[in-house]
């Protein structure tokens, strides 16, 4: 009961009296009071004064990291700036030279002669060439023309390839194919040639910002192994693949083995007699001994090399256009023989 009765007396202590008697407190009490006051001041200062400054410090640290990244990026860019400026000057010079290579005046008469000669070389019929209106551009002038030619598909493709290989700059646009007969096509296209624009000559250097165009090297159009996509495979003549060669000697008497198809033979071994090597081939229920230079098969096949694992032949066959082609064939050793 004394604790309950003493609590009201404790709460009624005079705070001022405690403050006046603080000088008489023992040292641990003074230290405890001082620590409490310092903690109270630190909490109040941190809450009302340092919280805003700390948030601002975090923002500045994040900004510092971003600036360091930008500095690193700019350093890399500056390191390559000199070489980029040199490359830009080189490209501008190349572009200037390309523009100066364009003819100052129109060269349509010479171009028409070249197109007519190219179409005749590829066996085409040049139906019409219509000159269209010039199209002025910033640094050059386009001179388009509408061209119509008739012929086989691969000959038309060779004609387009030949136009790309002309010495003057020519671009081909708006290609359109149409049938004129079961074996022929009509090609309509727009060919553009270019010449230098004098009116833009004074401002040429100031306008040369784009990179120089890449000029492709002309490539020969080889259609020997390609088919015509505008004809069904059953109707078109397949152009055989092979090397041009002289025709066979029809006055030569043909041997018995030249009447048997090549796929009816199989290599069963080789035979050496002194310095000469023979190949042993089995066909038509018999084994034959052949040397280099002997003929085999219906396509004028002639043995060109004999190896332990295979034998090589060269066959001749017509290309369907009056010439002869040569192809290589190989018969491998049948290890189960």
What per-residue confidence (pLDDT) applies to 17? 61
283 within domain boundaries: yes
Please identify, among 191, 207, 223, the residue that sits at the C-terminal boundary of a domain: 207
Please identify, among 149, 179, 207, the residue that sits at the C-terminal boundary of a domain: 207
Residues of the chain above pLDDT 70, percent: 71
The model's pLDDT over 114-125, given as tens digits with 9 standing for 90+, comes to: 888 888 877 788
Residues of the chain below pLDDT 50:
1-12, 202, 205-206, 208-214, 234-239
What per-residue confidence (pLDDT) applies to 278? 94
What per-residue confidence (pLDDT) applies to 279? 92
136 within domain boundaries: yes
88 within domain boundaries: no
Residues 312 and 254 grouped into a single domain:
yes
Residues 196 and 257 grouped into a single domain:
no
What per-residue confidence (pLDDT) applies to 311? 92
Residues 125 and 183 grouped into a single domain:
yes
What per-residue confidence (pLDDT) applies to 161? 83
Residues 253 and 308 grouped into a single domain:
yes
Residue ranges making up the domain that contains 58: 17-79
Which CATH number is 306's domain given? 2.30.30.830
What per-residue confidence (pLDDT) applies to 262? 85
The model's pLDDT over 84-106, given as tens digits with 9 standing for 90+, comes to: 888 888 887 777 666 665 665 66
Residues 177 and 268 grouped into a single domain:
no
Residues 323 and 264 grouped into a single domain:
yes
Residues 112 and 201 grouped into a single domain:
yes
226 within domain boundaries: no
6 within domain boundaries: no
Residues 64 and 132 grouped into a single domain:
no
230 within domain boundaries: no
Residues 67 and 140 grouped into a single domain:
no
How many domains would you assign to the chain?
3
Residues 266 and 320 grouped into a single domain:
yes
Q: State the Cα–Cα distance between residues 193 and 223, nearest whole angstrom.
A: 27
What per-residue confidence (pLDDT) applies to 219? 62
Residues 129 and 198 grouped into a single domain:
yes
What per-residue confidence (pLDDT) applies to 138? 75
């Amino acid at each position: 009961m004394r604790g309950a009765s003493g609590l009201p007396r404790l709460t009624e202590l005079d705070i001022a009296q405690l403050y006046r008697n603080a000088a008489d407190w023992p040292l641990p009490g003074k230290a405890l009071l001082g620590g409490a006051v310092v903690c109270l001041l630190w909490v109040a200062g941190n809450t009302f004064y340092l919280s805003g400054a700390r948030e601002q410090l975090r923002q500045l640290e994040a900004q510092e990291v971003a600036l360091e990244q930008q500095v690193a990026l700019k350093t890399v860019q500056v390191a390559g700036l000199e070489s980029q400026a040199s490359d830009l000057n080189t490209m501008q010079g190349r572009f200037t030279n390309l523009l100066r290579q364009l003819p100052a005046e129109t060269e349509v008469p010479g171009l028409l002669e070249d197109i007519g000669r190219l179409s005749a070389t590829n066996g085409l019929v040049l139906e019409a060439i219509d000159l269209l209106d010039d199209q002025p551009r910033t640094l050059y002038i386009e001179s388009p023309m509408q061209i119509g030619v008739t012929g086989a598909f691969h000959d038309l493709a060779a004609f387009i390839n030949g136009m790309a290989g002309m010495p003057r700059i020519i671009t081909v646009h708006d290609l359109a194919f149409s049938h004129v007969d079961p074996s022929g096509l009509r090609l309509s296209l727009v060919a553009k040639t270019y010449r230098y624009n004098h009116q833009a000559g004074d401002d040429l250097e100031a306008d040369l910002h784009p990179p120089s165009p890449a000029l492709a090297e002309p490539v020969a159009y080889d259609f020997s192994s390609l088919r015509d996509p505008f004809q069904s495979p059953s109707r078109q003549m397949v152009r055989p693949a092979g090397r041009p060669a002289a025709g066979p000697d029809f006055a030569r008497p043909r041997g018995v083995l030249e009447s048997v198809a090549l796929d009816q033979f199989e290599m069963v071994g080789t035979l050496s007699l002194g310095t000469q090597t023979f190949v042993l081939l089995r066909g038509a229920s018999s084994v034959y001994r052949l040397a280099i230079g002997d003929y085999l098969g219906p396509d004028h096949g002639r043995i060109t090399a004999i190896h332990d694992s295979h034998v090589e032949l060269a066959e001749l066959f017509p290309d369907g256009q009056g010439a002869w082609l040569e192809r290589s064939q190989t018969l491998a050793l049948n290890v189960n023989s």
